[in-house]
Amino acid sequence: MTKAEIVGFISKETGVDKTTALTVVESFMEQVKGALANEENVYLRGFGSFILKKRAQKTARNITKNTTMIIPEHNIPHFKPAKVFFDAVKK
């Protein structure tokens, strides 16, 4: 499912025009990205959580140049579905 399809379904179910639905969807995505960029988790009860996971520093190898490099500790975004969401998808 694409963002355009989601906007179409929201527009159809709520009766608002597609431009308003698109604005809401894009605003939601920006808010989630902004919160994670500020190292804040986003919790949506009954849906899931957008959280940050910390990756430890590690040593990696470039096998073509035969060199090693240090990859510093960093955060990666992760989505953890709520139990209700997980059970609905699992069937």
**CATH number, domain at 11?**
4.10.520.10
Query: Could you list the mean pLDDT of each consecutive 10-residue stretch along the chain, which spans 91 residues?
Result: 96 96 96 96 96 95 91 96 93 74
The answer to whether the beta carbons of residues 47 and 85 sit under 8 Å apart is yes
**Per the structure, how many domains does the chain have?**
1
Give the C-alpha separation, 31 to 87, whole Å: 27
Residue span of the structural domain in which 68 resides:
3-90
Sign of CA dihedral 37, 39, 85, 24: negative
Give me the pLDDT at residue 8, please.
96
Q: Where does residue 35 rank: exposed (0-12), middle (13-18), buried (19+ CB within 10 A)?
A: middle
Q: So what's the pLDDT on residue 91?
A: 74
Question: pTM of the prediction?
Answer: 0.80
What's the pLDDT score for residue 49? Answer: 97
